[in-house]
Amino acid sequence: MRNRPFWQFSLLHLFELTTLSAAVAALAVTCGPGTLMTSAGISLAWLNMRGAFENVQSGRRQAAILGLAWVTFLVSLALPSITVFGPVLGFSAAWFSIAGPIESLLRYGQLPLGVIVYLAIDLANVLMLLLPLLIWWQSRGRGQWHGAMLCIAMVAPWCVAWDVSGTSGLLIGYYIWCVSFGIALVAIRIRRQVLVAMLVMTIGLAAVVVLGK
């Protein structure tokens, strides 16, 4: 049993929160205010790692929240998500994310640095589509690797808004898409290693964005 209430911050909690705040500020300076979605997601991951959502990370509650995340994800695919000479539905944007790297590889025989973001988005989308499989695995005490990979890959969808000049072209479907990953994150118990991997992914994608400008 704990000797103190969970929400009573220790010095370690304070240090982690201070470090996280510094990282969020640095990301905003580097990539602009469009990083707000990423910052919110990483903060949610930190709360997860510290056990804030333990009550909903097992049994029927976990299955229900993962099911809600899956439905929200599917709904986002049917909504306008970005503007490219007009509104583009989510499933069309998802298909472009898959076709772009393939076309680049077939036409030019190489993958540009910026394609890394698309590949991470593709992985996140595939893992979200397979959430019913994760629910089944979780009910049998398995699927930890699926949940961990999803949490790491979901950083990529949150980074789409990093280009400040492009945020005006993001529509309701994009934000619901991002929220679906956040809902899944609440239900998936993560450990420190996964949070560190999410931070590393964020730093890596930030480097790609900066070098691509």
Kindly state whether residue 179 falls inside one of the protein's structural domains: yes
| 35 Cβ contact list (under 8 Å, min separation 6) | 24, 27, 28, 159, 161, 162
Nearest to 27 by CA among 207, 188, 166: 207
Domain membership flag for residue 37: yes
Tell me, yes or no, whether 205 lies in a domain: yes
- DSSP code at position 3: S
Let me know if residue 16 belongs to a domain. Answer: no
In a domain, 27, yes or no: no
pLDDT, tens digit, for every residue of 104-136? 777 766 666 667 788 889 999 999 999 999 999
* Per-residue pLDDT tens over the stretch 42-72: 889 999 998 889 999 989 999 999 999 999 9
Mean pLDDT of 2-20: 60
Is 167 part of a structural domain of the chain? Answer: yes
**Using CA atoms, how far apart are residues 57 and 2, in angstroms rounded to an integer?**
19
First and final CA of the chain: distance in angstroms?
A: 51
Q: Which helix (H) or strand (E) holds 82?
A: strand 80-83
Does residue 6 lie within any of the structural domains?
Answer: no
Task: Collect all residues with Cβ–Cβ distance below 8 Å to 43 and sequence separation of at least 6.
Answer: 20, 24
Q: Total structural domains in the chain?
A: 1
pTM of the complete model: 0.85
Tell me, yes or no, whether 162 lies in a domain.
yes
Where residue 21 falls (left for φ over 0; alpha for ψ -120 to 50; beta otherwise) is alpha
**Which residues form the domain of 206?**
32-212
User: DSSP characters for 172-211?
Assistant: HHHHHHHHHHHHHHHHS---HHHHHHHHHHHHHHHHHHHH
